[in-house]
Amino acid sequence: METMLEMDRRALMQRAMVLLGATALAGCDFLPGSKTAATLRPDQAKLLGAFSDTLIPQTDTPGSLGAGVPKVFAQMYSDWASDKTREELSGALDRIDAAAVKEKGKGFADLSPADRQAFLAGYDKAALVDVPPPADAPKGNPFAPVISVVDNGYAKLKDLVATIYYTSETALTKELVYEHVPGGWTASVKVTPQTRPAITFGAF
């Protein structure tokens, strides 16, 4: 059964396709047997850059742009994501932009960094409000819970961007700790103000 959200997303995609027109779509890169473009439209790519940069900005360390998140995202969008996931991700980007236009009168990427941050904080909070999962949703388990929020596509987008950042060489050398060969297990280490968490694979 389709959720309201999925129907809305589909309607939105259809509207977007009508607005773009056949000429623009013909320029997109389609994979064999797929009805969904395998690459983001240029405006979506620009939006992704602005979104990633706002979600994880440069501070005293590089942010998403410095860590090359958009490039990895684009590669995974083409090589990893299914049509359904591509629709979810690009739909989530389109919805951010549509909301920015409605609220601020400008596309998200055209806002000032401060305005992006303020807008996205509110948008993020509203999009991630929990909603009861549909009756036929998979059950999930404590380690892989089923995500059911107002905008599941947005939850996926945010998770993917952040995950790409926190597996990047930049983040794992400048923000968190990753040692490929720790050399041994030390059961107790004193926490100091300099302590940064080490990433793990699975629980341990």
Using CA atoms, how far apart are residues 62 and 79, in angstroms rounded to an integer? Answer: 26
Contacts of 169 (CB under 8 A, 6+ apart): 67
x/- string (CB under 8 A) for another protein, residues 35-54? Answer: -------------------x
One residue of 16, 47, 56, 92 binding another protein per CB under 8 A: 56
Shortest gap between Cβ of 181 and another protein (angstroms)?
A: 5
Cα 150 from chain centroid (whole Å)? 15
109 near 49, Cβ under 8 Å?
yes
What does the radius of gyration of the chain's CA atoms come to, in whole angstroms?
Answer: 19
Q: Helices 42-55 and 152-165, interaxial angle, to 10°?
A: 70
Tokens, residue 49: 């850059």
**Piece of 4-12, 18-26, 97-105, 140-148 that binds another protein (CB under 8 A):** 140-148
x/- string (CB under 8 A) for another protein, residues 63-92? Answer: x--------x--xx--xxxxxxx-------
Shortest gap between Cβ of 99 and another protein (angstroms)?
A: 14
Binding positions for another protein, rule: CB under 8 A: 54-57, 59, 61, 63, 72, 75-76, 79-85, 117, 120-122, 124-125, 127-129, 139, 141-143, 145, 158-159, 162-164, 166-169, 172, 175-176, 178-191, 195-204
